[in-house]
Structure 1
Amino acid sequence: MRNPFSEFTVKAIILFFFAFFMHVGVLKVLHLPLFDNKIILSYIINLILIMVVFGSLYLLKNKYKTQLGFLFLAGSFLKFAVFFIVFYPFYKQDHSISNLEFASFFVPYALGLILETISLSKWLNKL
């Protein structure tokens, strides 16, 4: 039997790698700043967070089988906390969050959330 965490990690790294280069490619085509708005940090942190949340759920699957949904929600809370601690102060320096700043965080966040949700639902249905 294959390890769901290893499979998830490989999928996540590949997805984030291609998404990052597509994101930067779109910025380049539109003649927008490529690496402003902490885009690299955003992709790295979001990748690490989804791997930590998925890995934690995988490790806790036997002990907290009936509470995994709540633990997943706790992982979402963790992601929001990281956003407000790491990114929000930087984005609000000029008292507004631009579309580029929003996309720099939200694109990797949304990709991670989608991958995490799909992978977890497939994995949990097998339990």
Structure 2
Amino acid sequence: MKNRKILIISGVILLVLAAAYYFYFGFLYKEARDITAEAPAYTLTAPDIVEEYQTNAATADSMYLNKTIVVIGNVNDNDSISVSLEPGVYCSFDVPAKNIISGKNIKVKGRCIGFDELFGEVKLDQCTINQ
């Protein structure tokens, strides 16, 4: 009788652990998005997206926030891990970007993470240069 009770308790504990494992890896833990492999939801110019955010940030957020977009614009400032497009789109790269020349028109694909009201710029992360 005592062995049967221990067996039932052990079975219940294993069942609870299996359910917790399934819940964690099935629902909570998701693989990171691969922005480079995703098709862009929108393609627009840097002045257009900045104007949309300055006009109505809530509407722009509903359209672009957390979505993969392509932004076309002139390089204003750049370093190895970020590029600023005129008039106010900040793009950060996971892998350092090469051969970016200030004043050159480029296409940047990335995930829109919103509008920074302090700096007045739209922010993109996980960016890559599209040719």
Q: TM-score range by the shorter chain?
A: under 0.3
Structure with the greater relative contact order (CA < 8 A, sep ≥ 6): 1 or 2? Answer: 1
Please state which structure has a larger fraction of its residues in helix. Answer: 1
Q: Which structure has the larger Rg over C-alpha atoms?
A: 2
Structure with a larger share of its residues in strand? 2
